[in-house]
Amino acid sequence: MRLDVITIFPEYLEPLRHALLGKAIEKGILEVGVHNLRDWATDVHKSVDDTPYGGGPGMVMKPTVWGPALDDVAEGKSVGWQLDSAQPHVDKPRRDDLTGRSFEGYEGEAGDKPLLIVPTPAGRPFTQEMARRWSNEDHIVFACGRYEGIDQRVVEDAANRYRVEEVSIGDYVLIGGEVAVLVMAEAITRLIPGVLGNASSHEEDSFSDGLLEGPSYTKPREWRGLEVPDVLLSGNHKLVEEWRREQSLQRTRERRPDLLRQE
C-alpha cells in the first residue's frame, strides 16, 4: 500500500516512521510520501488560504493550490518526502512475528484510482469497518485541511476523478487533519496482512465483533494483592471463551450501550 499525505506541516507526520508502521515500511509492505502543500502555492508569500466568501472568522484553503497538488500526488507526479523506517527491525523479529502470516500482496478495490480521504470534523464518523475496507486499497491520499477547512469545490472536483471520503475521527475539533491522519493511517495499516505479526491479534480487537474487548492479564498471578481471575488459570478453553464473552458484553453495556442497540 502507498499512503500520500498533503499538509502544510510535513513534520507532523514523522511519527508514521516509527514502531509498527516503520517496520511495515522496512518490510516493503508500506510506502509513505509526505508533501508540503506550499510547494504548489504560486504567489511570493506562498499563501495557501484566503478570506471566506460570505464573511465570518478564519480562513479557507484555496482551490487553486489544492487542485494541482492533489492531481500531482494522485497521479504519482510528486513523490514528496519519502519516509524511511526510524529504526531497523528486520533482524530482531518480535515474539508474535514468529506465528505471523506473511504478506500476500495487495487486493486494491478500484484499479489505479486512489482513494482520497479528507479529514474534517464535518465528515462521516471513522469506524473499524472503514479501516478494514480501506486496508485493501493500493493507494490512499490524505488531504489535511487547516483553518476553517478547504474550499468545497476541491472535494467536488476530485470526486469526478477519484473516490473521495470526508471523514471525522470523533466529535471534537482538532486544529487540523494531521493528527486524524496519524490515527486513521495506524488503524488502516495495522490490518494489512503481514503488518501485525500475529494475524489473530486483530481478529479479537474491540469492534471487530461489534463489542468492546474485555480485560487481559499476564504474570505474575498475584500483584499488589490483586489476583488474576481463576477461570483464566483453569485450562478450560470453553469456560475461558464464555468468560471473555461475558466480560465483553458487560463492558460494552457499561461503556458503550449504543453498540448493543445497533445490533
169 binds ligand ADE (CB under 6 A): yes
120 binds ligand ADE (CB under 6 A): yes
Cβ burial of 121 (10 Å; 0-12, 13-18, 19+) is middle
Binders of ligand ADE in range 121-150 (CB under 6 A): 121
Active-site option among 190, 244, 251, 256: 190
**Is residue 169 marked as binding?**
yes
Q: Count the residues in the chain.
A: 263
168 binds ligand ADE (CB under 6 A): yes
Using DSSP's 3-state secondary structure scheme, residue 87 falls into coil
Using DSSP's 3-state secondary structure scheme, residue 116 falls into strand
Give the strand pairing for 115-125 and 139-143: parallel
155 binds ligand ADE (CB under 6 A): no
88 is annotated as an active-site residue: no
- In this complex, which beta carbon is closest to ligand ADE, that of residue 74 or of residue 167? 167
In whole angstroms, the minimum distance from the beta carbon of 175 to ligand ADE comes to 7
Which of left, alpha, beta for 108 (phi over 0: left; psi -120 to 50: alpha)?
Answer: beta
How many CB atoms neighbour CB 256 within 10 A?
16
Give residues in contact with ligand ADE (CB under 6 A).
119-121, 168-170, 172-174, 176-177, 180
Annotated binding-site positions = 145, 169-174
User: Residues with catalytic annotation?
Assistant: 121, 148, 190, 205
